[in-house]
Structure 1
Amino acid sequence: MEWLAQLSPLSADISLLLVALSSLTSMISASMGIGGGTLLIMTMAQVMPAMALIPVHGMVQMGSNGGRMLMTLRHIERGALLAFIPGAVVGALVASLLLIRLPEGVLELAIAAFVLFTTWGPALPKRALGQLGTLVAGAVTTFLSSLVGASGPMVAAFIKQRSNNRQSTVATFAACMTFQHLTKAFVFGFAGFVFHEWLPLIGVMILSGVIGTWLGLRLLKRLSDNRFDLFFRLVLTALALRLVWLGAQRLLG
Structure 2
Amino acid sequence: MALLPSDLAPSFSLLLIFASFFTSATTAAFGLGGGAMLIALMTTVMNPLIAVPVHGAVQLGSNGGRAMVRFPHIVWPFFIWFCIGSALGVAIGGQIAHLLPENLFRGLIGLFLIYIAWGPKLKAVLTSTPLTALTGTVTATIGMITGVSGPLVIGFLQGLADRRAIIATHAALMTVQNILKLAAFTLLGFQFATYLPLILMMVATGFLGTLVGSKMLDGLSEQIFRKIFKLILTILALWLLAQTILP
In structure 1, distance between residues paired with 2:126 and 2:65: 29
Please point out which of 213, 217, 222 is paired with 1:220.
Answer: 217
8 Å Cα contact 2:60-2:175 kept in structure 1: yes
Deviations 1:109-167 (A, max 9, x none): 11111121122112336267522211111110110000011222111111223x11110
- Segments of structure 2 that go 5 or more residues without pairing to the other structure are none
Please point out which of 141, 144, 158 is paired with 2:142.
Answer: 144
8 Å Cα contact 2:107-2:241 kept in structure 1: yes
- Within-5 A mapping of 1:160-175: 160-161=158-159, 163-175=160-172
In structure 2, distance between residues paired with 1:127 and 1:7: 43
In structure 2, distance between residues paired with 1:48 and 1:190: 21
- Within-5 A mapping of 1:88-237: 88-103=86-101, 105-124=103-122, 126=124, 129-161=127-159, 163-237=160-234
8 Å Cα contact 2:106-2:243 kept in structure 1: yes
Supply the AA of the counterpart residue of 1:171. A
Deviation of 1:100 after TM superposition, in Å, equals 4.1
In structure 1, distance between residues paired with 2:46 and 2:101: 23
Deviation of 1:104 after TM superposition, in Å, equals 5.3
8 Å Cα contact 2:67-2:168 kept in structure 1: yes
In structure 2, distance between residues paired with 1:97 and 1:11: 32
Partner of 1:34: 32
Deviation of 1:239 after TM superposition, in Å, equals 0.5
Percentage of matched positions with identical amino acids: 37
- In structure 2, the CA distance between the partners of 1:218 and 1:128, relative to structure 1 (3 Å rule), is closer
8 Å Cα contact 1:5-1:11 kept in structure 2: no
Deviation of 1:248 after TM superposition, in Å, equals 1.4
Partner of 1:79: 77
Count of residues in correspondence between the two structures: 246
Match of 1:123, SS state, is coil
Partner of 2:242: 245
In structure 2, distance between residues paired with 1:124 and 1:65: 23
Please give the TM-score of this superposition, normalised by the length of structure 1: 0.92
Supply the AA of the counterpart residue of 1:35. G
Match of 1:160, SS state, is coil
Q: Does 1:22 align with 2:20?
A: yes
Supply the AA of the counterpart residue of 1:89. A
- Segments of structure 1 that go 5 or more residues without pairing to the other structure are none
